[in-house]
Amino acid sequence: MNIIETIIPFIILISVIVFVHEFGHYFYAKKFGVKVTDFSIGFGKKIFGWKDKSGTLWKICIFPLGGYVKFFGDTNPTSFKEKKTKFLKSQEKYILETKKLYQRVIIVAAGPAANFVLAFFIFIFIFMVFGKDFSIPVIKDVRIDGPAYKAGLKINDQIISINNKKINSIAEVSQDIILADDNLIKIKVLRNKNELTFVADANVESSKDNFGNMVNKRMIGIEIAPLNNEFIRNRLSLVDSVYNSANEIWFTVSTTMNYLFKIIKGTENANQLGGPIKIAQISGKVAKNGIAPFLSIMAYISISLGLINLFPIPLLDGGHLLFYFYEFISGKPLSYNKQVFFFKFGMVVVASLMFFATYNDLKSLGFF
């Protein structure tokens, strides 16, 4: 894959997700009378831009790794007006800090919320237009002396459930094995019209994922195929699409949080965390497979961006919300100096996470 085939899908994907996120902030800022001076996609030097009639500068910048909206009166990352900064009485009504607490909360929370809304409608579109996979999974091959073989699973067993969760498609088999809480995998199958249950002790093996990245997976040594080699993909009604879209978002959020808690507890390896390089790599490969896979990865990354921004880390939207929660409890905002201190701490945390994610990306490409 050449660099153009990687970079262009990446820029499109990131730009859409960032635009939606920032537009969430922008929309409610304008609704509550906060003046927006800049709406930027990317960072660094401006490539081109224009001003609208309200005075907002809309611009595209050279580094497409994020974006921001800048509110009138912002002189620091905290959006906290320093005492030395003077504004006319007529100008103060346009400043974020002068708005009611609930309005500031909505403005800040609207960015992550917009990412979830984007993912919600993308999934609905995919389920209604391209359909959802309902292929019935059967075991095509069993590796000799592997965990499944030792447990008693056989070729042509139809997989009904894994760890008491009903299996509705082929993709859910590997997904539920990989994401299991431990290595003991309880599998219910249909064999000669009889339901049988087996427990396989999975191995954790290093292998390539669908995008060629080396990852550690739980594996039980089976190969899956659709029943009678029949792939089933059904278009869903609007109601079913809404339900499945919400379910997909909840699954992604809960799985991500579960994985992060396992990292914190030390029971899971953090080498699966990726950054911009991995996103570019994935988006380029997925784009070659068609619009539906590309939209799917856009939805998943949009969910991830929305979720990460809600983490209570100063510098992120969640950090602002944390400060607003303190203000709600105490009846007064955290002092400017303390906010600046915590934002500097947040910058160190975010920079460290970015460095670690980039290291993982480069390691997966064989640089280390």
> Percentage of the chain surpassing pLDDT 90?
47
Note whether 7 and 32 are same-domain residues. yes
Note whether 147 and 121 are same-domain residues. no
Tell me if 270 is assigned to some domain. no
**Residue-wise pLDDT tens digits, 154-169:** 999 999 999 999 998 8
Supply 231's token pair. Answer: 């792939």
Nearest in space to 251 (alpha carbons), one of 200, 170, 307, 185: 307
Note whether 19 and 121 are same-domain residues. yes
Note whether 159 and 199 are same-domain residues. yes
How far apart, in whole angstroms, are the C-alpha atoms of residue 172 and residue 169? 6
Which distant-in-sequence residues (6+ apart) come within 8 Å of 341 by Cβ?
none
Supply 91's token pair. Answer: 């100008």
**What integer pLDDT is reported at residue 229 of this predicted model?**
86
Tell me if 271 is assigned to some domain. no
**Residue-wise pLDDT tens digits, 31-51:** 999 999 999 999 889 999 999
**What does the pLDDT average to over 51-67?**
90
Note whether 28 and 69 are same-domain residues. yes
The phi-psi region of residue 330 (left if phi > 0; otherwise alpha if psi is between -120 and 50; otherwise beta) is alpha
Report phi then psi at 342, rounded to 5. -70, -35
Q: Which residues are catalytic?
A: 22
**What integer pLDDT is reported at residue 342 of this predicted model?**
85
In whole numbers, what is the pLDDT of the chain averaged over residues? 84
**Residue-wise pLDDT tens digits, 257-296:** 887 887 777 666 666 666 555 566 566 666 677 888 889 9
Note whether 124 and 38 are same-domain residues. yes
Tell me if 291 is assigned to some domain. no
**The pLDDT of residue 330 is above 80:** yes
Tell me if 283 is assigned to some domain. no
How far apart, in whole angstroms, are the C-alpha atoms of residue 159 and residue 3? 41
**What integer pLDDT is reported at residue 367 of this predicted model?**
47
Note whether 166 and 217 are same-domain residues. yes
Tell me if 95 is assigned to some domain. yes
Note whether 67 and 164 are same-domain residues. no
Q: Token match 């993308």: residue?
A: 122
Single out the residue in 195, 212, 234 at which a domain terminates: 234
To which H or E segment does residue 198 belong?
strand 194-201
Which distant-in-sequence residues (6+ apart) come within 8 Å of 250 by Cβ?
none
**The pLDDT of residue 6 is above 60:** yes
Note whether 26 and 113 are same-domain residues. yes
Q: Is 330 helix (H, G, I), strand (E, B) or coil?
A: helix
Single out the residue in 205, 234, 263 at which a domain terminates: 234
Burial classification of residue 268, based on how many CB atoms lie within 10 Å of its CB (0-12 exposed, 13-18 middle, 19 or more buried) = middle
Supply 88's token pair. Answer: 């006319």
Tell me if 143 is assigned to some domain. yes
As a residue count, the chain comes to: 368
Predicted model pTM: 0.83
**Residue-wise pLDDT tens digits, 177-223:** 887 878 899 999 999 989 999 999 988 876 665 545 556 678 899 99
Note whether 86 and 158 are same-domain residues. no
**The pLDDT of residue 305 is above 80:** yes
**Residue-wise pLDDT tens digits, 65-119:** 889 999 987 765 555 555 556 677 777 788 888 899 999 999 999 999 999 999 9
**Residue-wise pLDDT tens digits, 110-151:** 999 999 999 999 999 999 999 998 999 999 999 999 999 999
Note whether 116 and 206 are same-domain residues. no
Domain containing 159: what range? 132-234
Q: What is the CATH number of the domain that holds 179?
A: 2.30.42.10
CA distances from 131 to 230, 233, 284 (A): 15, 6, 23
Tell me if 306 is assigned to some domain. yes
How far apart, in whole angstroms, are the C-alpha atoms of residue 284 and residue 252? 22
Single out the residue in 201, 219, 234 at which a domain terminates: 234
**How many domains, the chain?**
2
**What does the pLDDT average to over 301-315?**
90
Nearest in space to 186 (alpha carbons), one of 207, 167, 209: 167
Note whether 93 and 13 are same-domain residues. yes
How far apart, in whole angstroms, are the C-alpha atoms of residue 277 and residue 249? 24
CA distances from 289 to 102, 156, 211, 214, 294 (A): 44, 29, 12, 21, 8
Task: List beta partners, residue 146.
Answer: none
